[in-house]
Amino acid sequence: MFDDDRVFKALGDATRRFLLDLLFKRDGRTLSELEAELTMTRFGVMKHLRVLENAGLVITRRAGREKLHFLNPVPVRLIHDRWIDKYTERQVSTLVDMKTTLESKKWMPVKKRA
């Protein structure tokens, strides 16, 4: 089940956003690979990954002895659709209408003769 509070909490931390950026660049990274990109302990990285997993932003899969981490963009999209898109739609539509009106010939300034 999608819990937007968990997603917001997970996205509220710069380290977790950085981990998501790393997975966006290349999915399927191990804990060691992710840890190498940060200046914190392995345990600290594991705690951040656990928060991301609980929010559904990271999915893991075992490959032999390794645990691979994958980005799941669906919760971010759901947040976008629920909290961002509906608030920007009206403003964006208004700006597009204004741009169209201003670029039409009706609004072109009349050249004054000196």
Map out the domains of the chain with their CATH numbers.
1-103 (1.10.10.10)
Consecutive H or E run containing 70: strand 66-71
Q: Is the dihedral of CA 50, 37, 70, 68 positive or negative?
A: negative
Query: CA distances (Å), 44 to each of 22, 24, 39, 59, 75, in order?
Result: 16, 20, 10, 18, 23
Whole-prediction pTM: 0.74
Tens of each residue's pLDDT in the chain, 114 residues: 568 899 999 999 999 999 999 999 999 999 999 999 999 999 999 999 999 999 999 999 999 999 999 999 999 999 888 887 777 777 777 878 878 887 776 656 666 666
How far apart (Å, rounded) are the C-alpha atoms in residues 18 and 35? 11
How far apart (Å, rounded) are the C-alpha atoms in residues 18 and 105? 47
